Structure 1
Amino acid sequence: MPRILLIDDDEHLAAPLASYFARFDCVLESAQRPSEGLAKLRAQAYDAAILDVMLPEMDGFALCREIRKESDIPIVMLTARGDVMDRVVGLELGADDYLPKPFEPRELVARVQTILRRQRALPAAAPAQRRVFAGLSIDLDRREVLRQGERVELTGTEFELLALLADPPGKVWSRDDILNRLRGHEAELYTRAVDIVVSRLRKKLEPLDCIKTLRNAGYMLAVGKSDP
C-alpha cells in the first residue's frame, strides 16, 4: 500500500485528506512543519510527498530543494494561487507535478496515482531492459543511469523522460506527446514543464550533449552506439 507524506501547515486538511486517500488504498501521513517533514522522510520510506508552497520555517520551494539533495522521491507541489511562476519554480527545483489551491481531493489522488504508476512502469515497447550508448547507460530495471561510468541521480520524471527519448534514440518527441506519455492523458497540458525537465536533465548529463531540440518539432536523443 503506497505511503504518502503531506507537508502542509493547515491543521484541518490532513485528516479529511487521509480518509479520502484511504478509499484508494493509500496511506497519507502528515507533518505541519518542514523540519518535521524532513525528519519523517529521513526516518521512514515514503512513495511520494505533497508539499504546500506556503509553510513556516521555509517555503515549499526551499523544502523541495532540501529534499532533492537527499532523495528522488516523487513530489507534488500545492500552489495557493496557481501562479504560472510558482509552477515553473517548483518544476525547476525538481518537483514532478503541481496542483493549484483550492483543489478537489480526487484530482490530487489522481495526480499522485499517475506519478506512482509512472514510477513502477517501464516503457511499453522496450523488451531490452538496458540501453547502452556511447558514454551513456540506462538500466530500466534498476532505474539507474551511468554517464561515462558515473552514476547520475535523476528524479522519477527525469528518468522516465530519458527512457522515453531512448525508445528508440533518434525519434523526435513533441512536447505534447511527452506530456501525454509521462503525466497521463488526464493531466493539464503545460508545455513549459517539458522544457524545464529537459533543461534539468541536460545539466545532469553534462558533458554529454545528447538531447537535441528540433525547432517547432520537439526533442530527440542523439547518441552513438556503444563500442562492442
Structure 2
Amino acid sequence: MIKILMVDDDKDVLEINRKYFEENGCSVKICSHSQEAIDLAKKFKPDCILLDVMMPDMDGLEVCKQIRSFSNAPILFLSGKISENDKVAGFEAGADDYIEKPYSLKEVYLRIKVHIRRNSSVKRTMPKMYIDISPFLINLEEHKITYEDTEILLSNKEYDIFLYLAQNAGSEITFEEIGKKIWGSYDEGNRRIVMVNVSRLRKKIEDQTGVDNLIETVWSKGYKLVKPKGIRYGR
C-alpha cells in the first residue's frame, strides 16, 4: 500500500484528493500547516509527499528543505506558481517533480507510482552490489551513498545524477544526456534544471564531506566525475 502525505492550505482540495487516492488503495495523511507536515513526515514515513508551495505559516520550499534533511521520499510540488524560476526554486529546495495547477489526479497518481516504482525496483532487482569510488561508496541495493561509512543524505534525483556520473567516471556527460537519463526527456529549456540539481548535489557533497572537487564542469557542455584511483565494482 502506497503511503502518501498531502500538504495544502486548502482543506477542500485535501479532502477531494484524499478521497481519490484512498479509493485507489493508498494510505493518506493530510495537513494544512507546515510544521505539522514536517512532524507527520517523520512519524508517518510516507512513500511520497505532495506539497503546495504557497503555505501561510512557512512556504512549501522551506518545508521541502526541512523534510529533505531527514527523508529521501519523493516530493512532488503541486503549485499554481508555474514560471521557470518557480520550478527551479522547487528543484533547488529538493523536490523530485513539479506539477502545475490545475492538474489531473490521474496524472498525479501515475507520477507518484513512477517515482515509487523506480526506487523500489532498484532495491528489489539489484543484487548486493556497490560502486566503490573510495572514499565514496554507492550501495546499489540500498540506494544510498556513503562517505567514510557516513551516509550522504540526497534526494532521489541527486542520487540518480551521482550514480550516472559515477557509472561514467572520467567521461564527459552532456546536459542533454543527464536530462534524458534522469528526467526522460530534454530540451534546451531544461539545461537550467540540470544545472540547479548538479549544483545542489555538489553543495550537499561539500557540506557533508568537505570534498569540493569531485564533479567538474565541462564548460558549455556538461559535467565529469573525476575518476578516483582504484574505482571498483563489487558484490
Aligned twin of 1:102: 102
Equivalent residues in 2 for 1:42-53, closer than 5 Å: 42-53=42-53
- What is the CA RMSD across the aligned residues, in angstroms? 2.8
Q: Is the 8 A contact 1:115 1:183 kept in 2?
A: no
The CA distance in 1 between the partners of 2:223 and 2:26, in whole Å, is 35
Q: List gaps (5 residues or longer) in structure 1.
A: none
Aligned twin of 2:151: 151
Offset at 1:138? 0.9
The TM-score, its normalising length taken from structure 1, stands at 0.85
Aligned twin of 1:178: 178
Q: Is the 8 A contact 1:138 1:163 kept in 2?
A: yes
The CA distance in 2 between the partners of 1:186 and 1:115, in whole Å, is 18
Aligned twin of 1:204: 204
Equivalent residues in 2 for 1:61-80, closer than 5 Å: 61-80=61-80
What do the CA deviations read for 1:92-124 (whole angstroms, capped 9, x no partner)?
Answer: 11111111211222222233222212322439x
The CA distance in 1 between the partners of 2:157 and 2:25, in whole Å, is 23
Equivalent residues in 2 for 1:76-91, closer than 5 Å: 76-91=76-91
The CA distance in 1 between the partners of 2:191 and 2:231, in whole Å, is 36
The runs of 4+ residues in structure 1 deviating greater than 6 Å are none
Is 1:220 the counterpart of 2:208? The answer is no
The CA distance in 2 between the partners of 1:60 and 1:109, in whole Å, is 20
The CA distance in 2 between the partners of 1:128 and 1:45, in whole Å, is 25
The CA distance in 2 between the partners of 1:176 and 1:227, in whole Å, is 25
Offset at 1:49? 0.6
Q: Is the 8 A contact 2:8 2:51 kept in 1?
A: yes
What do the CA deviations read for 1:160-182 (whole angstroms, capped 9, x no partner)?
Answer: 11111122323333323323322
What do the CA deviations read for 1:18-77 (whole angstroms, capped 9, x no partner)?
Answer: 343346543333112213222221222210111101112111112112212322221111
Offset at 1:158? 1.0
The CA distance in 2 between the partners of 1:150 and 1:45, in whole Å, is 21
Identity in percent: 30
Aligned twin of 1:16: 16
Q: List gaps (5 residues or longer) in structure 2.
A: none
The TM-score, its normalising length taken from structure 2, stands at 0.83
Q: Is the 8 A contact 2:176 2:186 kept in 1?
A: no
The CA distance in 1 between the partners of 2:120 and 2:197, in whole Å, is 19
**Cα 1:122–1:208 shift into 2, 3 Å:** farther
Is 1:116 the counterpart of 2:120? The answer is no
The CA distance in 2 between the partners of 1:227 and 1:91, in whole Å, is 30
Structure number with the higher helix fraction is: 2
- Secondary structure at 1:196 match in 2: helix
**Cα 1:30–1:146 shift into 2, 3 Å:** same
Is 1:132 the counterpart of 2:132? The answer is yes
What do the CA deviations read for 1:195-218 (whole angstroms, capped 9, x no partner)?
Answer: 111111112223141212223432
AA at the equivalent of 1:27: S
**Cα 1:178–1:186 shift into 2, 3 Å:** closer
